[in-house]
Amino acid sequence: MKDEPKNPLENLQREVERLFHDLVYRRHPASHFAEPRWSPAADLVVGKDSARVIFELAGVPRESVKVLLRGSVLEVSGRRSPPQEPAGTHYHRAEIYFGDFRRVVELPWEADETRVEAVYREGMLEVRLKRAPEPERKEIQIEEPEAR
C-alpha cells in the first residue's frame, strides 16, 4: 500500500480534486473527450542524492511522450488517442481520458541535467535523476570606486 502524503493539506487537496472530478465527469461522462488535458498519476521517490519519478501512462505510445528538465522542474507531456470504435456503437460509460496531457513535478533540489535516464516499459515511465553538485561559493572582491 502506498504511503499517503504526510502533509494533511496535500491529502485534502487530493480529496477535493477527486470529488470535483467525480462531480463533473460522472454527471457528463462523455464530456472528457473534449477536455484539453488530463493529468497522469505520478510518484516521486527521493533519496539524498537521487530521485525517481514514475508516471502511469497506460495506452500512451512512447513516441508521443516528451520529457523536459530545467533545474528542479521535471515536465512530462504527450498524447493518448481514443480507440476507433465500430460504426453504430456508443459509449454507455466513459471513464478513460484521452487527448493531450502535461504533468509538472517539482523536485526538492536541482537535478544534474547530464545524468538523467528515462525508461518507458509497460505503460510506466520512470525518470531517474541525480542531484546536481552544489555550486562553489566564490568570494567577490569589492573594488575601490573610480575617482571622478
Average pLDDT, whole number, for the chain? 85
Q: What pTM value is reported for the model?
A: 0.68
Q: What is the DSSP letter of 108?
A: S
- CA separation for the pair 116, 12 (Å, rounded): 32
Q: Is residue 43 part of a domain?
A: yes
CATH of the domain at 112: 2.60.40.790
Q: Is residue 46 part of a domain?
A: yes
104 or 32, higher pLDDT: 104
- CA separation for the pair 8, 5 (Å, rounded): 7
Q: Is 77 in the same domain as 108?
A: yes
Q: Provide the domain limits for residue 26.
A: 1-34
Q: Is 76 in the same domain as 43?
A: yes
Q: Is residue 92 part of a domain?
A: no
Best mean pLDDT range from 23-27, 34-38, 127-131, 136-140 = 127-131
Cell numbers linked to 52: 525517481
**How many residues are there in the chain?**
148
Summarize pLDDT for 78-94 with one digit per residue, the tens. 999 988 889 999 888 88
At 55, the pLDDT band (50, 70, 90 cuts) reads very high
